[in-house]
Amino acid sequence: MQIPTMYLAAPIFILATCYFAYVMPLKCVICNSENNNVCAEGTPDQLNQYSAECSAVNKSMGGAAGVEWTSCRKIVTFVDFDVNDEKGGITRVFRRCGYIKEEKLSCVYKGGLGGRQRVCSCDTDNCNSGHSLTNTLLTTILAPIAIVAIYRFQQ
């Protein structure tokens, strides 16, 4: 029994695409809702105009020379009480690159004096532009399995 070329080419193409996604420099959406309303409420298409290669924005993101950018972040800050010059009752959204490796890519909640934050991390290009996080590795594993299952089902 010979497997059709299409069924072999598809997994190879998917794996090659995912490989190049991991070796290319990470791109993230970079914006701040304090000076840009699209940052807080924009659609992924609107936010992609603020996409930048993390290595190109090194100094403005606070990283030292040679920092390895490992994730994109969406940080929602809730200022609940008046703190310093900030009035309470506001929400700000920051989208940026991250260089501290997270054990688990997801969202964490942090609380502090006067406010709290929801910090979501992901590790694929522009993944901080949407409302949910995606996982390319899961797609890489499931796609070949689905192709083989379809092939076997058709026989």
Domains and CATH numbers, the chain: 26-134 (2.10.60)
> What is the percentage of the chain residues whose pLDDT exceeds 90?
30
Handedness of CA 122, 124, 129, 132 (dihedral sign): negative
* Cβ contacts of 94 within 8 Å, gap of 6 or more: 31, 32, 33, 39, 73, 74, 75, 77
Q: What is the DSSP string of 105-138?
A: -SEEEEEETTEEEEEEEE-STTGGGSSS---HHH
Looking at the predicted structure, is the pLDDT value of residue 55 above 50?
yes
Place of tokens 């532009």: 129
Report if pTM > 0.95. no
H or E segment and range at residue 75: strand 71-79
Query: For residue range 81-101, what is the model confidence (pLDDT) as tens digits?
Result: 877 776 778 899 999 998 877
The answer to whether the beta carbons of residues 50 and 96 sit under 8 Å apart is: no
